[in-house]
Amino acid sequence: MAVDAAAHGNASRGGPASGTAARRGGAGATLLRLLNSGWFRPVLFLVVLTVLWDLSVRIFAIPPYLIPKPGDVALALAADWDQLLAASVPTTLATLGGFALSVLFGIPIAMLIAGSKTVESYVYPLLVFSQSIPKVAIAPLFVVWFGFGLLPKVISAFLLAFFPIVVSAVQGFKSVDGDMMDLAKSMKATRLQTFRMVSLPHAMPAIFAGLKVSITLAVVGAVVGEFVGANSGIGFVLQRSIGNFELPLMFAALVVLALIGVVLFWVIDVIERLAIPWHASQRHNYIPTS
């Protein structure tokens, strides 16, 4: 469609006789190009949703202590931006800390599980079992153990972010083709060489898939940690604003929280593109050297 429109635009630009038609064609092409760009569609959809939200609040006369108008949320965002920005710092730190710990522990554990049947038989079932414990239920325990500082939030983020990394990394390490292993063996590759040249690169796409799930869960973990005991952070702002019926501020805090998640996800996505340009999921924007 974009190509058609562009061709049309070019053709009509050809002769001065076409006049206004040419200008309209050009504008149409620009509009279509805009419509096809990656960021435009979700933004457009978001705008539509916001308008629907605003209309529903007005039409059904929903009182502001239940659902605020989007305009009021924007006003709260503008008025309290300094407070929200300050609150987002500890939340982001706890998220990143928990995420870093997950990577640091998750990938080596996945390597052990994938590399040894014995380790797998001991560790994996317990790992799955531990995941069925709701983190919200044990978060207060961390407050008792570690106080109100950053550490309990980091641990809470870690507990949520850890599992997806392990699961996807194990799957990545284990899915190496048997012939591929035979090939390495036929070259008399050492275990380390096989890992470095074959298993690790092979597992990278799966690991990145796990990292993407993990980073968004780390945000959730950090906020859960802040819910149960904190005097700063987005979770704390959420708690306090709902206690005071400051719904616009609460919604503004949610917007900030979503933004943190989106930005962190985007960062991982960029790193993935740089780290594994060869992978199928990246090929659409990969230019091979000829």
Partner 1 sequence: MAQPQLKVVGSAETARLSQKTLIQIDGVTKTYRTRDGEVPSLRPITFDVRDGEFLVVVGPSGCGKSTLLKLVAGLLPVSEGAITIEGTTVTEPHDDVGIVFQSPVLLAWRTVLRNIMMPVEVRGLPRDTYLERARALIRMTGLEGFENKYPWQLSGGMQQRASLCRALVHDPKILLMDEPFGALDAMTREKMNVELQRIQHETGKTVLLITHSIPEAVFLADRVMVMSERPGAIAATYEVPLPRPRSLDVMGHPVFIELTQRIRAHFNAQGHLD
Binding site for partner 1 (CB under 8 A): 177, 179-180, 182-189, 193, 197-198, 201, 204, 276, 278-280, 283, 288-289
Cβ 278 to partner 1, closest distance in Å? Answer: 5
Q: Rank residues 82 and 179 by Cβ distance to partner 1 and give the closer one.
A: 179
User: Which of these, 127, 162, 143, lies nearest to 226 by C-alpha position?
Assistant: 143
Q: Rank residues 24 and 185 by Cβ distance to partner 1 and give the closer one.
A: 185
Could you say which DSSP state residue 198 is in?
I
Q: Rank residues 57 and 107 by Cβ distance to partner 1 and give the closer one.
A: 107
Q: Which residue has the tokens 């200008």?
A: 23
Q: Which residue has the tokens 């507990």?
A: 159
Q: Rank residues 130 and 281 by Cβ distance to partner 1 and give the closer one.
A: 281
Q: Which two structure tokens, joined as six digits, stand for 201?
A: 């690169």
Q: Rank residues 36 and 193 by Cβ distance to partner 1 and give the closer one.
A: 193
Cβ 176 to partner 1, closest distance in Å? Answer: 10
Q: Rank residues 16 and 288 by Cβ distance to partner 1 and give the closer one.
A: 288
Q: Rank residues 58 and 196 by Cβ distance to partner 1 and give the closer one.
A: 196
Task: Tell me how far apart the 2 most distant CA atoms of the chain are, in Å.
Answer: 80
Q: Which two structure tokens, joined as six digits, stand for 164?
A: 């997806």
Q: Which two structure tokens, joined as six digits, stand for 290?
A: 């000829």
Cβ 185 to partner 1, closest distance in Å? Answer: 6
How far is residue 177's CA from residue 213's CA, in Å, rounded to a whole number? 25
Q: What is the CA radius of gyration of the chain?
A: 25
Cβ 58 to partner 1, closest distance in Å? Answer: 54
Torsion angle (degrees, nearest 10) of CA 6, 11, 12, 16: 140
Cβ 204 to partner 1, closest distance in Å? Answer: 8
How far is CA 34 from each of CA 29, 40, 58, 95, rounded to the nearest angstrom?
A: 9, 7, 31, 34
Q: Which two structure tokens, joined as six digits, stand for 177?
A: 């083709």
Cβ 194 to partner 1, closest distance in Å? Answer: 9
Cβ 196 to partner 1, closest distance in Å? Answer: 10
- Confirm if 251 and 68 have CB atoms less than 8 A apart: yes
Q: Rank residues 38 and 288 by Cβ distance to partner 1 and give the closer one.
A: 288
User: Which of these, 176, 137, 181, lies nearest to 159 by C-alpha position?
Assistant: 137
Cβ 49 to partner 1, closest distance in Å? Answer: 39
How are the residues of the chain apportioned to helix, strand and coil, as percentages rounded to the nearest 5? Answer: 85, 0, 15
